[in-house]
Amino acid sequence: MCPASLPENRTTLTPDTPVQYLKGVGPKLAQRFEKLGIRTLADLLEHYPRRYLDFTHPYPPSEAPVGVECVVRAELLSKQGGRYVTGGRRVEKATAGDDVATLELTWFNNPYTIQKLEVGQEYFFEGEVTGGLLRRQMVNPQVRTAAQVQAAPLAAIYPQTEGLTSSAISRCVAQLLPHAELLGDPLPPALLQKYRMPGKAQAVRDIHAPSSPEAAQEARRRLIFEELLVLQLGMGQMKNRGSASTGAPMRRIDPAPFWASLPFSPTGAQRRAVDEILEDMAGTESMNRLLQGDVGSGKTLVAAAALWAAIGAGYQGALLAPTELLAEQHAENLNRMLAKFGIRVALLTGGLKAAARRTTLAAIRSGEADLVVGTHAILSEGVEFARLGLAVIDEQHRFGVRQRGALAEKGCAPHLLVMSATPIPRTLGLLIYGDLDISILDELPPGRRPVKTRVMTGARRKDLYGFLDREIGAGRQVYIVCPAIEEGPDASLTPVKTYYEQTAKALLPNRRVGLMHGKLKPKEKAAVMEDFRTGQLDALVSTTVIEVGVDVPNATVMVIENAERYGLSALHQLRGRVGRGAAESWCFLVSDNEAESVRSRLKFLCSTTDGFAVAQYDLETRGPGDFFGSRQHGLPALQIADLANDTATLHAAQSEAAALLDKDPLLTAPEHALLAQQVNRMFERTGPMN
């Protein structure tokens, strides 16, 4: 563990110095740090505490709450000598207390702490209190003197990992704090002045070891501002890069012939979105547009119209889907809509055999393939387009921001359309997708009836299956979704295969039931899906691999087992798989969880089919951590800012970022070097697609 001072030759310290440089950090500890995403000294200094333990309000031993970490103030009454116990561990014991109660203290393998303590002195002990009223105990407490508490009244608590406790992190950070200047200050002095914020080194010291709650608050405000500014700079640069002059100039195209070729008319919202897209593509800059539309609003059709136009203008188009399943479905749908115009559609997925892949790649390179549909395999090296003019990314939230950039680099600045079915509350959307223009499909195709949604317990599963059987008898199809798990220790959950054998097949003995899960080979998945689409299967038991985008209009019932395990937005997506035809559709949320919060969450979903309302509710009740934490928006992970609650700062950061980029679009000015570095660090942290 880290002692409190640094090695002597500190001239070599840089932000990139590995944490192993610290005293007491060997390869093992370094590995644990790595689990927290901490590799360098800068990473460690920017690993901010989650909260603080307040030493200014200690408990007397008799009132300390059991089972939580807290601070107890007491006099040291006696020290019992150390001894060894089985397993070779050394144990030291001491007793502290006041007139009312005592606290028994135990340390394992730590003879140093107790050596420094004096009987008769008062100390502050920090740790988790265990035991009953009469026998309170603390194991491995941190100890502070009154003088130490006065100097540092708040103790930082860090997100920890196995084998790396918050206090071990504290000690390593403490070694580094005298050297906080090594980070430099990315924020221009003018901004510090304008918003009255402390400098970086000051803020870093105050957030790790604040002298008062106010100092911690100020530090936090400054660091949040910095993080959001860096985020907005990154997004802004992405947009600027995109809006370089386009490599695919086209004239304004009239969509009428495409609309006329369809068996139905487009909705007003679809027409508007396509007009906006065609307008963009006729401009001199390349398009960077987000198409947001609730599940079932018909985004694919908008993409088809845009691709039709770009290909008609002499370019190639590409469409990226998050899964092979969706890529195949899109290829089929687009082929149906576009083949009559002589457009040649190629499918490129990771599952292709080498020979087929070679032929496809050659067709893409020669321009023989007009439209390439695929997974992120399209982004891999070796895929060259003859003249890529428009790239469409479906279900954008599965892709990292960086991947959008990679795609843009495949052609000479092609137009970009990203489609997302995850509605985010509007005000936030504009800020988060600050790098994109937005079209919204706020109208469902005509004749849709809202999906009737019900919550039920597993006790009524037999009745439910009776209902499924009748629907199937009427010529409909049904989905049954189970959590994706293997045989495992959690006995409350049934593995999907067991559920398929013992529940679904048993309760639908005369029906054709299929099974789909993530472990199937792409070919097998495609075959099962094909059987379901063509009506060879009546029911499909599946994990959430079907969550995104699958379109089978004849399916009218969605059953979701263990519904409490999903966020509302995910449930809403699943529900969106039904209600795609004119028939009445149903969604059953099965859950035995009795918790009030779970019940009211599921009930809320029964009361609305508006994806924006669902997202708002999710955001408010599950908190922004859940909402944004899963990276479903493809944004970089943030260390300290909270997009839902720090909106005022986000606004300020956005306008300052715009002003900065106005003056220095590429952040090449020497005074912006550190900012540019921070932007790179943040966007490198964005993980690959999951």
Which residues contact Mg ion (rule: CB under 5 A)?
Answer: 549
Indicate which single residue of 108, 264, 426, 521 sits in contact with ligand ADP (rule: CB under 6 A): 264
Span interacting with ligand ADP, options 3-11, 70-78, 515-523, 546-554, rule CB under 6 A? 546-554
* Binding residues for ligand ADP, total number by CB under 6 A: 18
Closest CB 445 distance from ligand ADP, rounded Å: 3
Q: CA angle 152-158-159, nearest 5°?
A: 170
Q: Which is nearer to Mg ion, 434 or 549 (CB)?
A: 549
Considering only the stretches 260-268, 353-361, 593-601, 651-659, report the one whose residues sit in contact with ligand ADP under the rule CB under 6 A.
Answer: 260-268
Both structure tokens of 233:
């700079």
What is the C-alpha to C-alpha distance for residues 470 and 541, in angstroms, rounded to an integer? 17
Please name the residues in contact with 653: beta carbons below 8 A apart, sequence gap of 6 or more.
225, 228, 229, 231, 232
Q: Residue 267 touches which of ligand ADP, Mg ion, none (CB < 5 to 8 A by kind)?
A: ligand ADP
78 touches 119 (CB < 8 A): yes
Would you tell me the crossing angle of helices 596-607 and 611-629 to the nearest 10 degrees?
140
> From residue 505 to residue 544, what is the string marking binding to ligand ADP with x (rule CB under 6 A)?
----------------------------------------
User: Which helix (DSSP H) or strand (DSSP E) does residue 201 occupy?
Assistant: helix 200-208
Residues contacting 679, CB < 8 A, separation 6+ = 230, 233, 234, 237, 667
Alpha carbon distances (Å) from 160 to 44, 353, 371, 624: 12, 45, 48, 20
| Residue closest to Mg ion (Cβ) | 549
Stretch that binds ligand ADP, among 213-221, 291-299, 362-370, 624-632 (CB under 6 A): 291-299
Smaller CB distance to ligand ADP: residue 167 or 300? Answer: 300
Mark 298-337 with x for binding to ligand ADP (rule: CB under 6 A) and - for no binding: xxxx------------------------------------
Q: In the numeric block, which tokens belong to residue 658?
A: 């715009």
179 versus 448: smaller Cβ distance to Mg ion: 448
Q: Whose Cβ is closer to Mg ion: residue 294's or residue 656's?
A: 294
Minimum CB distance to Mg ion smaller for 547 or for 564: 547
| Complete DSSP assignment for 90-156 | EEEEEEEE-SS-EEEEEEES-HHHHHT--TT-EEEEEEEEEE-SSSEEEES-EEE-HHHHHH--EEE
Partner in contact with 667, chosen from ligand ADP, Mg ion, none, beta carbon below 5 to 8 Å by kind: none
Rg over alpha carbons for the chain, rounded to the nearest Å, is 30
Task: Indicate which single residue of 97, 127, 236, 266 sits in contact with ligand ADP (rule: CB under 6 A).
Answer: 266
295 part of the interface to ligand ADP, by CB under 6 A: yes
Smallest gap from residue 632 Cβ to ligand ADP (A): 16
Least distance from ligand ADP to the Cβ atom of residue 585, Å = 13
Give which of ligand ADP, Mg ion, none residue 198 binds (C-beta under 5 to 8 Å, depending on kind).
Answer: none
Alpha-carbon gap, residue 494 to 659, rounded angstroms:
55
Q: Which does 266 bind (CB under 5 to 8 A by kind): ligand ADP, Mg ion, none?
A: ligand ADP
Four-CA torsion 669, 673, 677, 683, nearest 10 degrees:
-20
634 binds ligand ADP (CB under 6 A): no
CA 580 distance to own-chain centroid: 28
Contacts 24+ apart (CB under 8 A), 143-146: 143/113, 143/117, 144/55, 145/121, 146/122
374 belongs to the binding site for ligand ADP (CB under 6 A): no
Helices (H), 423-509: 426-432, 461-473, 496-499, 505-507
- Beta strand 477-481 with 539-542 is parallel
**Closest separation in Å from C-beta 47 to ligand ADP:** 40
Written as one letter, the residue type at 321 is: A
Interaction of residue 96 with ligand ADP, rule CB under 6 A? no
Half-sphere exposure of 188 (CA within 13 A, CB side): 18
Q: At CA 291, angle to CA 286 and CA 292, rounded to 5?
A: 155
Nearer to ligand ADP, 106 or 554 (CB): 554
Interaction of residue 296 with ligand ADP, rule CB under 6 A: yes
Minimum Å distance from CB 607 to Mg ion?
A: 25
* Nearest residue (CB) to ligand ADP, 176 versus 421: 421
C-beta of 297 vs 494, nearer to ligand ADP: 297
Give the x-and-dash track for 418-457 against ligand ADP (CB under 6 A).
---x-----------------------x------------
Residue 632: which of ligand ADP, Mg ion, none does it interact with, CB under 5 to 8 A by kind?
none
Residue list 575-594, contact with ligand ADP (CB under 6 A): 580
The least distance separating Mg ion from the CB of residue 398, rounded to whole angstroms, comes to 12
Going through 383-536 in order, the beta strands assigned E by DSSP cover: 388-393, 415-420, 437-441, 452-456, 477-481, 513-516
Residues engaged in binding ligand ADP (CB under 6 A)? 264, 266-267, 270, 293, 295-301, 421, 445, 549, 551, 553, 580
